[in-house]
Amino acid sequence: MHDEKRTYYVSIESGEVLEEPAELQGYFKINATGEEVKHLREFMNENYKADLQTFVRSHIPFKEYHKDKEDVKYDKTMDEVYALIYELGDQEARDHIRNMGILDESLLKKSQER
């Protein structure tokens, strides 16, 4: 069965994917199927878990910051979230993500090939 694309609004800060947010400010607009939204929510959930792990690690006294596995996982999941939003997003979302400079060109190209 072909899943029809619908408009959703994504907040990185709150981890929400909504059909109709109370306000549009702070949300990326995407057009996605139910399966694509499920995939995005899975990435966002993984990112939330990774964020919690980095929070715990950050409270260990005298431990210097360096790329621990928790940090690497957080960065990877954040890249996946932004790459998927870039792929599914409207032109404004794509322009914003490109201007942020957080995704390297290989991730941008990879998301366009999907």
What average pLDDT does the structure give for the chain? 82
Q: Classify 64 in phi/psi space as left (phi over 0), alpha (psi -120 to 50) or beta.
A: beta
Lowest mean pLDDT among 1-5, 42-46, 71-75: 1-5
Q: Domain limits of the chain?
A: 6-113
Query: CA-CA distance, 49 to 32, in Å (whole number)?
Result: 24
Tokens at 101, concatenated? 């400079």
Q: Could you tell me which residue, 71 or 21, shows the higher pLDDT?
A: 21
Q: What is the pLDDT of residues 68-103, one digit of tens each?
A: 666 778 788 888 899 999 999 999 999 999 999 988
Query: CA-CA distance, 41 to 56, in Å (whole number)?
Result: 23
Name the range with the highest mean pLDDT among 4-13, 44-53, 99-108. 4-13
Give CA 86 to chain center in angstroms.
9
What three-state secondary structure class fits 5?
coil
What three-state secondary structure class fits 29?
strand
pLDDT score recorded for residue 56: 62
Query: CA-CA distance, 96 to 93, in Å (whole number)?
Result: 5
pLDDT score recorded for residue 1: 45
Question: Per DSSP, which regions of the chain are E strands?
Answer: 6-11, 16-18, 28-32
Q: Compute the residue count for the chain.
A: 114
Q: What is the pLDDT of residues 50-61, one digit of tens each?
A: 777 776 656 566
What three-state secondary structure class fits 28?
strand
